Each structure stands twice: as structure tokens, then as C-alpha cells.
Amino acid sequence: MESVVVGNDFLLQYRNISSKLKKRFLRKPNVAEASEEFGQLARELSDGEAWAQAGLCCVAVARCEQTLVNPTTEVSAITQAARYFLKAEVINNHLHCPSFNEHLMTAISCYQHAIQLYLDQKQPKPALAASLAALQSLGRPSEALIHLRIAADLHSASPFHHLTCLGYIASCKIELGDLHGALMVFTQMTTLIEQTAEQPLTGAYKDILARCEISSLLILLTLRPLPQHTKQPHAKLLEKYSWTTPDLQSLDVPYDDAELVVLLQSLVLTCQSRDTQALATLSQHLTRLLGPEHLHLLHTLVTEMNRT
């Protein structure tokens, strides 16, 4: 939280800079100078972690650049403003400060304005997905979904960024308990990787495919779709892990962990036999090999098995 002294000092400086934009007799306002000073003030405020005030200064920079007809600088400033407002909302959320989510709403408005500016410049590829996904971390996955779908559409021409957006969408659906929806998104991601990524897969694409495969497997084991209702890619995935072989090359998995392969194969067999005691033991071994999202899905699987 910013001190009162910092707050008063900010208001004084902001007003002094704003006064340079007023029209005076026989004197044009120095918009370029005001834009530079607003930008400098925004940097100083961000250094002092006064995120909301820094965001206001960036909005002022964007307005100045709009007057100067500098669309590239304008969109950069309004995007930075959105980041600052979102940071302010995250800090308030972590500190459990009472609010009306005004910083969040302002951040969303700034992002939407930035998107429109990109579209006006015929550059429909703003890298906003990661920031918009912060809505999910604030406990608003349903709202994040709306904006992430827009971001995914804007990134349709860029496979990797499109995958990033879809990944966040899948996470939101998991958090909302929509396992069917999450499974469809993971299937879409897998298909996109197969169609666009160079083979053999390396780096980020390989990691994304590994996430999709393990998540899809855990969801399928939880949902237990009837054979006649199981899509072909899902049937192949279940069949793939039904064979007990630790040979990574013959199994063609997108990760290099023979122990994880064996444990996932055992998990499939255990779920098919409905052995809840063995499932509990397997879960303990899998815990140290899985990330947070997969652990959440594993917990959901165990809960569902014990319930039925």
C-alpha cells in the first residue's frame, strides 16, 4: 500500500503535467513533453509499487499519443496501463483488501481498448493471454474464459500462441469442474500440435503435448465414458496405456520418464478393476511426479472412484 505522502506527491505532479495540456492564448499545448513526463512518472511510481497510480499515468500517455497520432506508442501505453491495474488488483486480492474490483474492471477495459487498437492497425495478434489469465488466479475463471476465447481467436494464425490461450482455457474449465469441456480443449490442442508442429517434437511443443496427454488420460479415467460414446482419439489413448510396457520408444510418449509411464499404466489397470486400495497407493507414488494441475485431476479421480 502506498503512503499518504506518496499519494499527495503523485496528485501534485499529475496536475502539474496535466496543466501543460491546457490550451492557452497564442500557445499550443506541448503534448509530446507531457507524454514523456507522464511516462517518467509512471516508471517512478511502478518502482515504488504504486501500481494503480502508474496505470493512470500510462493511460495519460496513451491519450497524449492518440493526440499525436502515434498508434504504436498508444497501444503500448494502454497495454502497460492494463498490466499495472491488474497488478494492483492482484496485490489487493492477496492482502484481502475490501474493494469493488475497480482495478480489475479498469484493466479489462484497457485490454479491450488495446485489442481494438491492434485490430484497427490490422495486427490481430496481441500477446494478452497470459495477463488475461490472471483473472483465473483471482478466482474468476468464468470471466477469464470470455477474454481468453477472444485472445485465442486473435491468435489463430500463430499456433504456439493459440496453444497458450487454449491451455489457459483448459485450466479455467478444470477449475470450474467442466471436465468434458477441458477434455475437448486438450483434444483440440493435441490435434493442433500434430498438424502444425515439426516432428519429432522438441521443447515447448513436447511439454504441451505431455500435459495434454496426461490430463486427457486422468479425465477419461474419471469420466469413464461408455465405449460407444468414446471418441477415437480417446479410445486410442486409453488403449495406449493399457499395455504394460516400460519401453518409451515403442509406447511413443511425449515425455522421458519410464517410471511415470509404468505408474500411469498401472493407474489405468487399477481404475478398470475398480481397486480403490491400489489406487490410493498409486496416488502416493504419482504425487512426486505430477504438477499441480495433474495432481488436482488425480485427486478428482480418486474422489470419484471412492464415491462410486
What is the spatial distance between Cα 131 and Cα 150, in angstroms, rounded to a whole number? Answer: 13
**CA angle centred on 125, ends 144 and 91, rounded to 5°:** 40
**Tens-digit pLDDT profile for residues 6-34:** 556 888 999 999 988 887 776 788 899 99
**Tens-digit pLDDT profile for residues 270-302:** 999 999 999 999 999 999 999 999 999 999 999
In the predicted model, what is the mean pLDDT of residues 167-194? 96
Residue 111 confidence (pLDDT): 84
Q: How confident is the model at residue 234 (pLDDT cuts 50, 70, 90)?
A: very high
Q: Where are the domains of the chain?
A: 1-94+102-123, 126-175, 177-308
Residue 135 burial (CB count, 10 A): 24
CATH architecture of 1-94+102-123: Alpha Horseshoe (1.25)
**Tens-digit pLDDT profile for residues 34-79:** 999 999 999 999 999 999 999 999 999 999 999 999 998 998 999 9
Residue 169 confidence (pLDDT): 94
| Cell, residue 92 | 489487493
Top-confidence residue, 133 or 158: 158
Mean pLDDT of the chain: 87
The alpha carbons of the chain give a radius of gyration, in whole angstroms, of: 25
